[in-house]
Structure 1
Amino acid sequence: MSAPNALFTETILLLGGAVVAAPIFKKLGLGTVLGYLAAGIVIGPVFHGITDGEQILNVAELGVVFLLFIIGLELKPTRLWQMRRDIFGLGTAQVVVTGLALTALAWFSGVLEWRGSIVAGFGLALSSTAFAMQILEDDGDVNTRYGQRSFSVLLFQDLAIVPLLAVVTILDGDKGSGSPLVDFGISVAAIGAMIIMGRYLLTPLFQIIARTGAREAMIAAALFVVMGSASLMQFAGLSMAMGAFLSGVMLAESSYRHELEADIEPFRGVLLAIFFIAVGLSLQLQVLLDNVLFIIIAVPIIMAVKSLIIYVLCRAARSSHNDAVRIAFLLPQGGEFGFVLFTTAAVAGLMPGSTASLLVAIVTLSMALTPLGAALSKRMLTGEEHEELNEDFEGAGADVLMVGFSRFGQIAAQILLAGGRSVTVIDFSADRIRQASSFGFRIYFGDGTRKDVLRSAGIDRAKIVLVCTQKKEITDKVVELVQADYPQTTLFVRSYDRIHSIELRNKGVDYELRETLESGLLFGRRTLEALGVTEIDAYEIGEDIRKRDEARLVLQVSEGLQAGQDLLFSKPIHPEPLIKPKRVPDPFDDDPLVSRSDATADA
């Protein structure tokens, strides 16, 4: 078969494997990552449909590159600076402590001498950015506290590959080429050049292309920027993913950020799927079979040691138990950069080639077990700890500030948006924010009972504050806070029930409404119509009930809950036989509807 035909066939196999495996494993609750891995194992090692898995892996690593670029687009330099403690504090501790622990294990196992043990230990300390971020993305947890802390650790691990490769050169002695100091200087210079180009060249470049209106040129420019920055970092000895991430960060404040993300997303999704399939293709079943006992012992021990250390370090960094468990089970696997480190060490003679292959197999198998570990972690969570997202109020500050995106608030927001009004919505439910984002809504995470959150959300610029929270006690806290610190703000509130409505009126809110009032009136009207009452009569009856309800509320506010009972209907109203109730035309009457029992008919 000719090379072009072989390439065409392999492409069909890869795409077909993704199409079949992903939905099946997603339906089984095992995640798409494990599905892609299984597809790769079936296509490659089992049926030998594709034999050059490593070559495909090299190309598919662009999926990781695009992933880091999109992550960079979501992180402004200011946000990255806020994460510095997790990146350089927790990240450094994780790499150093885990590396030393695994180095000791490798040394005491007797498989490697001390230099090879150092390379193996620190290589296994690295985790897979692609696997961890894909799992976070599938679960919608990228912006959670534990998701951001996990990403910080992964980001430092990507940075750590540079000094680790320098360590290989140092351990290699005179065999290595080049000076570690020179290599470090080149890396720093490359990062500096990337920052300068990102600040002064990238945005003007996209401005020029945007003026032409050539959509395909914009896509080509986006791909050029990602791959060009990745290649520059690779030339400087850094990872391609790091270069793409930096270019994304540089464009995070650009007005073209959302368009770039939309352009890159399809390429990222397909290439990342192929990357996971390629990992499965590269799995050396023969190596696994020849060393099955060693691997069965080594893989769980390595993952357990990494998980335990990560858990302890996260708890020391003041993560909650649940977040520490999630991170520990998300990052116990080996990483893609371990492949590079082990291969380089084998070439340098620090370990036999067979040992490097065994380590690669261990890393690959640990990757395959990660989705199962992430699913297992959910069984180890305790209590009903409230999940929190990182608060980011960029773009907030509309005329209307809505606190709580409940069912009631969602309907009200539709009315406002249809009326051409912008609305800033804050909610304290991570699940609700994830669900809203899947429908294209931008909801800000924040606790509306905190003054600093309301200020960050733009309450100083808001003309009206809508309190649409579901719990009465939370609603009362928000109302009291707004009235105390922002007394001039117009306050519209969704009340829990009739008693709550009375309490809110006593507090002096500008408008309140029970969630069930309008739906109950409409439900009753539709029931009357189904029983044969005309639509007009049903409407008038509904309006009469509405006015009676309002009159009762006015009396109850001033006289107590038992007031206005005479306005309630406790028995059916029976008009005279065969005569429908009619309106009595009395222009001097404030209430145009009289009680049905007083209606008279023209005879």
Structure 2
Amino acid sequence: MTEGIEPTSMLSDALVILGAAGLVIPLFARFRITPVIGFILIGVAVGPFGLGRLVPEVPWLGYVTIAHAEALEPFAEFGIVLLLFGIGLELSFKRLAAMRSLIFRMGPMELFGSAALIALGLMALGNSPPTALALGLALSLSSTALVLRIVRADTQVGRTALGTLLFEDIAIVPIIFLLGAMGRGDQTTDLHTFLTTLGTGALVVAVLILFGRTLLPYLFAQAARTKSSEIFLAASLLVVIAASLATAAVGLSPIVGALVAGLMIAETEFHGEVEGMIDPFKGLALGVFLITIGMSLNLEVLWQRTWDISVALALVLVIKAAVTSAILRLGGLRTAPAIEAGVLLASPSETTLIVLTSAVSVNLINPDAAQFWQIVTALGLTITPLLARLGRKVASRISSGDDGMIDDGDGPRVIIVGAGRVGRLVADMLVTHERSYVAVDADADLTERARRMGYLAIFGDAGRADVLRRLGVERAPAVVLTMDQPVLAERLVAKLRDEFPELLIVARARDVAHAASLYRAGASHAVPETLEASLQLSEAVLTDIGVAMGPVIASIHEKRDEFRVEIEREGALDYRPKLRTGPTGD
């Protein structure tokens, strides 16, 4: 009976994927290994070149392996579609217009500059010009799916990456048509077909935008009135799938339609609700895509050609990082974010695999060479999170050198985390009372703006221990957290309290509940924005209607103390952190 066991393919594949998401990935997280690498390694292990090849000898392995990678490809493609839909939700037509220089000036220079250098190198190694150009265009693409999961789109590096990646996504269709025109087989294409597809695609996108602006608010309003999350989710998926199918039907990539759908919904008041509902599906579908990348790694070929593959990958990474960094620097970006973005965008892309397949179909690349470069691409995708870390570390070193990080000889000063409006106000008060400070912010734009206004601000991620230590946190009278990111603030408070038990930590809280959470994490003081705004309003009205200033201030202080006791009680504090008695300002 054992020989007759034939596991149901769909169910066994679902078992592997959900097992990876629910069991294995948390294990990787425990050891601080990014889920991106985790999913890819799982794909290697359970794919046809891993345990899957043992299924004929050990049939029960069929229940925990995926023997047919092509069965997952539709789900992987849907993951990319949902990812681009999510990116569109975070944008708007106004913001996209503001990024036109990055998209249509920096994007082409980065893509074609990298492609030209890679193609020249391949020609020097003996490849024909058409083959070298096809490989150069394929390898010069960068991973939208991974990069935008690693870096936030609201940072300078994130915006820069988004601009170049959007151009690359738009350029995929012209690249595939170009390869078809250069092809040496039967599947060539001509200029008329190319121009017809672009014209039809532009018309479809215009129609989608027109219908989206007129019909989507009505559609989502009706879905919202049902008070059914299932119907709201169905409406969201209907929009993204319909838009993707519309662009795919005229020869454009489905991800173009997904991006347009996201942009259209971003213009409505329902975009936040849609984003929250789509996010879990987006993450799981992206995991499926990453598993398929791991499954494409032929371990036997990788073992036999380890040196060749390593050298090829290293050259691609160096060329792309150097070209991208140089172009962004010449375009006006500061050195640190330009290098960080260049290193982040150095890996090949999931769309590289699509372009390689197209090149094989028109005989520009032979199948053996395509398999070699597919392995290079898969390895590049695997190390993308490591490249992101390397880029941040290099940018931090450059910023610390340029911005004057303090050395061991400097005296103690208050560290302000956040160089925005609240952080600058705290700095003003410290200067008024002759106290030293330094502000640190991971947003290069905010840091640059603060420096132009005369504040002592540096670029750096305060969540990293090495940044705060270089700022002298062990000698600091206090650390003031001013960022409007509740979860990040709680994590940083807990981390600081664990490493520095006597440190005075003052944190900005969104409301009373958040203040209680900050106290539980170990904050010395947590100041709710809503409370302080209410007290200031009360002070203004009382003084304006004739109440003496002295009693008003006394009552404000009394009410503030009452709320503080209430917050501490609500937080159910396990302990009160020992306060440091050094100079902390007036």
1:85 aligns with 2:101: yes
> What's the CA shift string for 1:49-94, capped at 9, x where partnerless?
2122243133222122112111211211111100111111111110
For 2:148, give the aligned amino acid.
Answer: M
Matches of 2:369 and 2:564, distance apart in 1? 74
Name the residue aligned to 2:168: 157
Per-residue deviation at 1:117? 1.0
- The answer to whether the Cα contact below 8 Å between 2:197 and 2:252 also exists between their aligned partners in 1 is no
1:19 is matched with 22
CA distance in 2, matches of 1:57, 1:515: 63
Task: Give the structure 2 partner of residue 34 of structure 1.
Answer: 37
> Is 1:47 equivalent to 2:51 in the alignment?
yes
Deviation at 1:151, TM superposition (A): 0.8
Alignment equivalent of 1:73, drawn from 66, 72, 89? 89
1:57 counterpart (54, 73, 76): 73
Corresponding residue for 2:374?
360
Query: Deviations for 1:505-525, whole angstroms, at most 9, x for unmatched residues?
Result: xxxxx97999999779999xx
CA drift at 1:439? 8.5
* 317, 327, 331: which one aligns with 2:341: 327
Determine the structure 2 residue equivalent to 1:586: none
Separation (CA, whole Å) in 1 of partners of 2:270 and 2:103 = 27
Q: Distance in 2 between matches of 1:324 and 1:318?
A: 9
Q: 1:513 to 1:302 in 2, by over 3 A?
A: farther
One-letter identity of the residue aligned with 1:33: V
SS at match of 2:485: helix
Contact 1:18 1:274 in 2 (8 A): no
Give 1:497-512 correspondences, 5 Å limit. none
CA distance in 2, matches of 1:125, 1:321: 22
Match of 2:158 in 1: 147
Alignment partner of 2:258 out of 236, 244, 258: 244
Secondary structure of the corresponding residue to residue 238 of structure 1: coil
Letter in 2 for 1:167: L
Give yes or no for the alignment of 1:404 onto 2:416: no
| Alpha-carbon separation, structure 2, partners of 1:217 and 1:405 | 43
**Separation in 1, partners of 2:25, 2:145:** 16
For residue 178 of structure 2, the aligned residue among 162, 167, 173 is: 167
Amino acid aligned to 1:14? I
Code of the residue aligned with 1:65 in structure 2: it is: V
Partner residue of 1:127 out of 139, 142, 145:
142
Shift of the 522–12 alpha-carbon distance from structure 1 to 2, 3 Å rule, reads closer
CA distance in 2, matches of 1:231, 1:293: 42
1:380 is displaced (CA, Å) by 1.5
Are the counterparts in 2 of residues 40 and 281 from structure 1 also a CA contact under 8 Å? Answer: yes
- List gaps (5 residues or longer) in structure 1: 387-401, 409-426, 441-488, 494-509, 527-560, 562-603
Structure 1 or 2, whichever has the larger Rg, is 1
The answer (yes or no) to whether the contact 2:83–2:282 under 8 Å persists in 1 is: yes
C-alpha spacing 1:24/1:248, structure 2 compared with 1 (3 Å): same
User: Aligned partners of 1:220, 1:81: CA distance in 2, in Å?
Assistant: 30
Cα 1:434–1:145, aligned 2, differ >3 Å: closer, same or farther?
farther
- 1:218-237 matched pairs, under 5 angstroms: 218-237=232-251
Change (3 A) 1:106 1:492: farther
Question: How big is the shift at 1:325?
Answer: 2.1
What CA distance in whole angstroms lies between the structure 2 residues aligned with 1:515 and 1:311? 53
Count of aligned pairs: 424
2:386 is aligned to 372
1:195 maps to 2:202:
no
Secondary structure of the structure 2 residue equivalent to 1:333 = coil
Contact between 1:492 and 1:512, CA under 8 Å: does it hold in 2? no
| 1:386-414, Cα deviation, whole Å (9 max, x unpaired) | 8xxxxxxxxxxxxxxx9527999xxxxxx
| Match runs of 1:531-542 below 5 Å | none
Q: Determine if contact 1:491/1:511 at 8 Å carries over to the other structure.
A: no
The answer to whether the 8 A contact 2:325-2:341 is kept is yes
Structure 1 pair 225–518 and aligned structure 2 pair: CA distance change class (3 A): closer
CA-to-aligned-CA distance 1:346-396 (integer Å, 9 cap, x gap): 11111111111211111111111111121222332324478xxxxxxxxxx
Shift in CA distance, 76/354, structure 1 to aligned 2, threshold 3 Å: same
Q: Distance in 2 between matches of 1:116 and 1:29?
A: 40
Shift of 1:30: 3.3
**Residues 272-291 of structure 1 mapped to structure 2, 5 A cutoff:** 272-291=286-305
Q: 1:439 to 1:342 in 2, by over 3 A?
A: same
CA gap 1:119/1:264 in 2 versus in 1, 3 angstroms:
same
Partner of 1:498: none
| Aligned partner (choices 314, 329, 332) of residue 328 of structure 2 | 314
CA distance change for structure 1 residues 438 and 60 in 2, over 3 Å: closer, same or farther?
farther
Name the SS for the 1:50 alignment partner: coil
Structure 1 residues 323-354: Cα deviation after superposition (integer angstroms, max 9, x where no partner):
11221121111111111111111111111111
Identity level (%): 26
Cα distance in 2 for partners of 1:314, 1:35 equals: 31
- The residue number in structure 2 matching 1:103 is 119
State the shift of 1:208 in Å.
Answer: 2.7
8 Å Cα contact 2:12/2:66 also seen in 1: no
Distance 1:356 1:326 in 2: 30
- Deviation (angstroms), 1:158: 0.2
**Cα offsets for 1:167-226 (capped at 9, x unmatched):** 112212783245221122222222222212222222222223333334322211111111
3-state DSSP of counterpart to 1:322: helix
Is the deviation greater in 159-168 or in 18-27? Answer: 18-27
Structure 2 unpaired stretches of 5+: 53-64, 404-419, 427-445, 448-458, 463-481, 491-535, 541-551, 569-585
| Whole-angstrom distance in 1 between the partners of 2:35 and 2:558 | 41
- Within the candidate set 95, 117, 124, 2:132 is matched to 117
Per-residue deviation, 1:20: 3.3
SS in 2 for 1:126: coil
Tell whether 2:485 aligns with 1:435.
yes
Q: What TM-score do you get using the length of structure 1 for normalisation?
A: 0.64
Residue type of the alignment partner of 1:274: V
